[in-house]
């Protein structure tokens, strides 16, 4: 059996431990799961492209380029959006890309939606303080896109750099992400796009990519938005070497 290595990148408010259930199920030997937002974690870039470059530098340090087996990227939500920028910068650094609950980007001409998203994310960033941490989490988890999904594990402010979280909400905002549909289409052979059956917004985004023939493989898991937490068994089966 071919040796494999998988690099899994969590979403906003995520941590490396979010992938523990997958690690227990995963039949591959190597599963790398960095933390983006810990004080001593991965450096934070000033844009999604800059963050993708930082992640690639980390991968180089881990010896990914010298690895002779199959290399897979898995990205959830924000982690997937960073992965799209890795795909754009250096598509062949991984053999396979798995995008979970990932937004392909707003249309460039949709200026109003971009402006509204930018204002919204700036408001979220302004609420991020130690004093208001519990209130922030409550409001964040009350968003409609998370209504049909499993609740995240308990999140403690001491586990994060608030500066990095604010940066993710502002500089890494969907408002500043380019429309990546052309990138997706050019690399369709190595992409698996995964959405939750109960995550209606992202289910429609995935079906839109499929209708427009931009992807070859759309997987619909039996879950909501937080697929890495809800559907680790289905993801492990998808990633099974062979």
Whether residue 240 is predicted with pLDDT greater than 90 in this model: the reply is no
Q: For residue range 119-178, what is the model confidence (pLDDT) as tens digits?
A: 999 999 999 999 999 999 999 999 999 988 888 889 999 999 999 999 999 999 999 999
Q: For residue range 206-232, what is the model confidence (pLDDT) as tens digits?
A: 999 999 999 999 999 999 999 999 999
pTM here is: 0.95
Write down the residue that tokens 């707003």 correspond to: 106
Say what the alpha-carbon torsion angle 46, 167, 30, 190 is, to the nearest 10 degrees.
Answer: -60
Please name the residues in contact with 189: beta carbons below 8 A apart, sequence gap of 6 or more.
216
Domains and CATH numbers, the chain: 4-239 (3.40.50.1820)
Residue 21 pLDDT grade (very low, low, confident, very high; cuts 50, 70, 90): confident
CA distances from 158 to 127, 149, 162, 194 (A): 16, 25, 9, 32
Do residues 193 and 99 make contact, with C-beta atoms less than 8 angstroms apart? yes
Q: How far apart are CA 132 and CA 59, in angstroms?
A: 35
β partners of residue 239 = none
């Amino acid at each position: 059996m071919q040796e494999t290595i998988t690099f899994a990148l969590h979403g906003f408010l995520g941590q490396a431990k979010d992938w523990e259930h997958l690690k227990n199920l995963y039949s591959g030997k190597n599963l790398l799961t960095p933390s983006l937002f810990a004080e001593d974690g991965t450096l934070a870039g000033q844009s999604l492209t800059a963050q993708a470059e930082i992640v690639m530098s980390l991968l180089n340090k881990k010896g990914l380029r010298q690895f002779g087996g199959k290399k897979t990227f898995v990205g959830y939500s924000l982690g997937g959006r960073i992965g799209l920028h890795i795909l754009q910068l250096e598509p062949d650094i991984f053999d396979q890309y798995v995008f979970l609950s990932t937004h392909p980007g707003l249309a460039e001409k949709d200026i109003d939606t971009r402006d509204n998203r930018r204002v919204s994310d700036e408001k979220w960033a302004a609420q991020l303080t130690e004093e208001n941490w519990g209130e922030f989490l409550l409001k964040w988890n009350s968003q409609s896109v998370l209504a049909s999904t499993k609740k995240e594990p308990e999140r403690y402010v001491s586990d994060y750099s608030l500066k990095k979280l604010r940066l993710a909400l502002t500089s890494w905002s969907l408002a500043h992400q380019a429309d990546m549909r052309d990138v997706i289409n050019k690399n369709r052979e190595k992409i698996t796009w995964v959405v939750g059956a109960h995550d209606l917004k992202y289910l429609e985004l995935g079906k839109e990519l499929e209708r427009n023939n931009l992807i070859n493989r759309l997987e619909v898991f039996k879950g909501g938005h937080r697929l890495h937490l809800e559907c680790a068994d289905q993801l492990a089966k998808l990633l099974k070497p062979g």
